Amino acid sequence: PERSGKTFSSECSEPLVRRKIAKKRELMAAARVRVIIADDHEVVRFGLVSLLDDTDIEIVAEASTGEEAVSLARKHKPDVVLLDIRMAPGNDGLAALEKIRSDVPSVRCIMLTTFDNPTYIARAVASGAHDYILKGSSREELLESITGAASGQLPMRAGELRRVATTMANRVVTPDPDVPLTQREMQVLRHVALGLSNKEIAQSLTISVETVKEHVQNILRKLAVNDRTQAAVWAVRRGLA
């Protein structure tokens, strides 16, 4: 009788090849960075999707409000959320950042903004942002930020976020006999100068809001100033923020 053209080895190898292909596809899918884009302007979302096309980044969802971003982050648990820092009233990106970091702590958040503002950066750092990039950044910078965030690497660029984060974390004080602030009071003063609220300072320094209030009162008394604005001006003039 005629034998089939297929051999035993070929019949065994076909399932093996299929398994290898399936495995390769699984590995490729696992290597992709899953991202949610949150911005209240459709044209910005469309631009970012186009910019990230043909890369190892998969856009799993888009959000137009902070609340929607939080909901989608809970649902999809992406690697990274690109989050506009200022969205429509009542949908602040910073508020969404705080909720996402609380509800889905494994998700890394990158703040997108047109505002190169130290106060916004400081608030983003205090609320747990991984990076802070301007909407005018290049495609390469955006990709670097996303892939770095997904892998847990610190921002590679020596930008504003790193400078502000270093300022906020710094507890080294240059002795000044005329201003006997403690290290912690000087650290709180830097936060005040960056425009952070008591709650945000407490989050950044991992202390209670009441403790922050006490430090602020001591600072005002020692500097002989009437309010936080005057204290902030004092700090800026001395290069503390």
CA distances from 205 to 43, 135, 147, 154, 191 (A): 37, 29, 28, 19, 10
Cα dihedral angle (204, 210, 212, 215), rounded to 10 degrees? -160
In this predicted structure, the answer to whether residue 177 has a pLDDT above a threshold of 90 is no
For residue 85, what is the DSSP state? S
| pLDDT given for residue 36 in this prediction | 98
Distance CA 21, CA 191 (A): 53
Binning pLDDT at 50, 70 and 90, where does residue 156 land? low
| pLDDT given for residue 8 in this prediction | 46
pLDDT tens, residue by residue, 194-240:
888 899 899 889 999 999 999 999 999 999 888 888 888 888 777 77
pLDDT tens, residue by residue, 15-54:
665 666 555 555 445 579 999 999 999 999 999 999 999 9
The pTM is what?
Answer: 0.68
In this predicted structure, the answer to whether residue 146 has a pLDDT above a threshold of 60 is yes
Question: 38: closest CA among 62, 54, 59?
Answer: 62
| pLDDT given for residue 124 in this prediction | 85
Angle of CA points 213, 169, 102, to nearest 5°? 70
Residue corresponding to tokens 């955006």: 142
What number of other Cβ atoms are within 10 A of residue 109's Cβ?
27
Query: Based on C-alpha coordinates, what's the Rg of the chain?
Result: 25
Residue corresponding to tokens 């005018």: 136
| pLDDT given for residue 75 in this prediction | 97
Residue type, 44: V
